[in-house]
Amino acid sequence: MTDARRLPDDFLWGTSTAAHQIEGNNTNSDWWFFEHQENPYVKEPSGDACDSYHRWPEDMDLLAELGFTDYRFSIEWARIEPAPGEFSNAAIAHYRRMVEGALARGLRPMVTLHHFTTPRWFLERGGWAAAGSDELFARYLTAAEPVYATDVAHVCTINEPNMVASMATAYESVISGRPLPTTGLPAPDRATTDALIRAHHRATETVKSLAPHVKAGWSVANLVCRALPGAEDVAAAYRRPRVDVFLEAARGDDWLGVQSYTRTLIGPDGPLPVPEDAERTLTGWEYYPDALGYALRHSAATAPGVPLIVTENGLATADDARRIDYTAGALEALADAMDDGIDVRGYYHWSALDNYEWGRYAPTFGLIAVDRETFVRTPKPSAAWLGEAGRTRVLPTTA
Ligand code: IFM
């Protein structure tokens, strides 16, 4: 790595969050419902989360003071459309205030329309796989148009559709009692996959017809499947339904979101557990900063010509020095990919805040700690280290 790698002036430099994980009391959502069922994946409910529904100005003040120039957050369908066809003007106005609040602080907003949660009524009618889900999604984001109609350059239609499709399989296993494989990600539900791809294309068309200036894309969890020698075909077959079909669906989009945390090793019989001697993060994933470089290169090869934005990257750790080391390694891999001609337009760290990690609070991904009782926010050293690059436009290192 050369010293002082400069970021292009218009490079997006931000942090990412999701409504359900930080807002609190998202009581009308499918996830709130899951959290209150007998469910092996849920250790504790989300409750008040970070109370960011009320404290978003404080979150944005901190992020802007730290130096970030961009903020990716999601709007909550369950709040905007609490009952089928009934829209909350107050919720829409709330999210519009967030867009304006971000801009007023010098943070360019990227708005995610769907980040894992749907209204409970949508689950009850069969979720994504039920007929007409794409139409309902388009109706919701048409109603939400005042949020992004002006001043929002980037809209993310659906966050990690591949994880949503795998979660549909996991949810079915909870209901049916059918066991899931013990290693690797459950095979995505086929009907859910097809529905999400339809929904993304329809959402892109809808958003761009309502707000032609918007650059629309979606964000795919790149599993970084690394084959052991001789297992290349097994890895490709494993990756195809879990990642590649979602990357291919982004061909022709304005941008593609790359989300990368770790790698999945694949042997001749399929995915392998994390090696015994590997360092693990608080999610149990392998500490593997180089994953980002692989994810960028694979995304660029699978959706050629589509500009890439790293919409999530980070790790869950209680050791903030390790967060800095990991992120420096990931950014070095990002810079190497850019040097090799890969068109990367931005980097958003996951996450701004320690938040609800889908079933538990223990895996802390945040640059900013949040007291679970008082909601007091305390930026960690990594937050200042990473945010500063927004001001200097120089990629941070640990040197
Ligand atoms: O917390 C999640 C986020 O909601 C989606 N991407 C991965 C993150 C870490 O697991």
Mutate to test the pocket of ligand 1, among 357, 360, 364 (most ligand atoms within 8 A of CB): 357
What is the Cα–Cα distance from 292 to 75, expressed in whole angstroms? Answer: 26
Atom of ligand 1 lying closest to residue 316 CA: 9
- Regarding the beta carbon of 354 and ligand 1, being less than 6 Å apart is answered no
- Regarding the beta carbon of 164 and ligand 1, being less than 6 Å apart is answered no
Domain count, the chain: 1
Taking the centre of ligand 1 as the mean of its atom positions, its distance from the CA of residue 60, in whole angstroms, is 20
- Regarding the beta carbon of 350 and ligand 1, being less than 6 Å apart is answered yes
Q: Is residue 1, in this structure, part of any structural domain at all?
A: no
Q: Is residue 2, in this structure, part of any structural domain at all?
A: no
Mutate to test the pocket of ligand 1, among 351, 356, 361 (most ligand atoms within 8 A of CB): 351
Using an 8 Å Cβ cutoff, are 207 and 148 in contact? yes
Q: Over its length of 399 residues, how does the chain's per-residue pLDDT go in tens digits?
A: 456 899 999 999 999 999 999 999 999 999 999 999 988 889 999 999 999 999 999 999 999 999 999 999 999 999 999 999 999 999 999 999 999 999 999 999 999 999 999 999 999 999 999 999 999 999 999 999 999 999 999 999 999 999 999 999 988 888 888 888 888 999 999 999 999 999 999 999 999 999 999 999 999 999 999 999 999 999 999 999 999 999 999 999 999 999 999 999 999 999 999 999 999 999 999 999 999 999 999 999 999 999 999 999 999 999 999 999 999 999 999 999 999 999 999 999 999 999 999 999 999 999 999 999 999 999 999 999 999 999 999 999 998
Task: Return the SS3 of 33.
Answer: helix
- Regarding the beta carbon of 160 and ligand 1, being less than 6 Å apart is answered yes
Q: Is residue 233, in this structure, part of any structural domain at all?
A: yes
Taking the centre of ligand 1 as the mean of its atom positions, its distance from the CA of residue 312, in whole angstroms, is 8
Q: Is residue 7, in this structure, part of any structural domain at all?
A: no
Taking the centre of ligand 1 as the mean of its atom positions, its distance from the CA of residue 9, in whole angstroms, is 28
Q: Is residue 134, in this structure, part of any structural domain at all?
A: yes
Helix spans in the chain (H): 19-22, 30-35, 52-66, 77-80, 89-104, 120-124, 133-143, 145-148, 161-176, 190-210, 232-239, 245-248, 291-302, 320-339, 381-392
The domain that holds 160 is classified in CATH as 3.20.20.80
Minimal-distance CA residue to ligand 1 atom 9: 357
Sign for the pseudo-dihedral over CA of 105, 256, 221, 32: positive
Mutate to test the pocket of ligand 1, among 26, 76, 160, 354 (most ligand atoms within 8 A of CB): 160
Taking the centre of ligand 1 as the mean of its atom positions, its distance from the CA of residue 20, in whole angstroms, is 11
Minimal-distance CA residue to ligand 1 atom 1: 357
Sign for the pseudo-dihedral over CA of 394, 257, 214, 149: negative
What is the Cα–Cα distance from 368 to 386, expressed in whole angstroms? Answer: 12
Contacts of 124 (CB under 8 A, 6+ apart): none
- Regarding the beta carbon of 156 and ligand 1, being less than 6 Å apart is answered no
Taking the centre of ligand 1 as the mean of its atom positions, its distance from the CA of residue 133, in whole angstroms, is 23
Identify the CA nearest to 138 among candidates 79, 88, 208, 89: 208
- Which letter does DSSP use for residue 74 in this model? E
Atom of ligand 1 lying closest to residue 16 CA: 3
Q: Is residue 399, in this structure, part of any structural domain at all?
A: no
Taking the centre of ligand 1 as the mean of its atom positions, its distance from the CA of residue 165, in whole angstroms, is 14
Atom of ligand 1 lying closest to residue 365 CA: 9
Minimal-distance CA residue to ligand 1 atom 4: 18
- Regarding the beta carbon of 189 and ligand 1, being less than 6 Å apart is answered no
Taking the centre of ligand 1 as the mean of its atom positions, its distance from the CA of residue 2, in whole angstroms, is 31
- The residue range of the domain holding 45 is 12-392
Instruction: For 238-294, give the DSSP string.
Output: HHIIIIIHHHHTTTTSSEEEEEE---EEEETTEE-PPPTTS-B-TTS-B--TTHHHH
How far apart, in Å, do the first and last CA atoms of the chain sit?
Answer: 10
Minimal-distance CA residue to ligand 1 atom 10: 357
The confidence score (pLDDT) of residue 399 equals: 80
Statement: the pTM of the whole predicted model exceeds 0.95: yes
What is the crossing angle of helices 161-176 and 190-210, to 10°?
140
Q: How far is CA 16 from the centre of its chain?
A: 7
Q: Is residue 255, in this structure, part of any structural domain at all?
A: yes
- Regarding the beta carbon of 18 and ligand 1, being less than 6 Å apart is answered yes
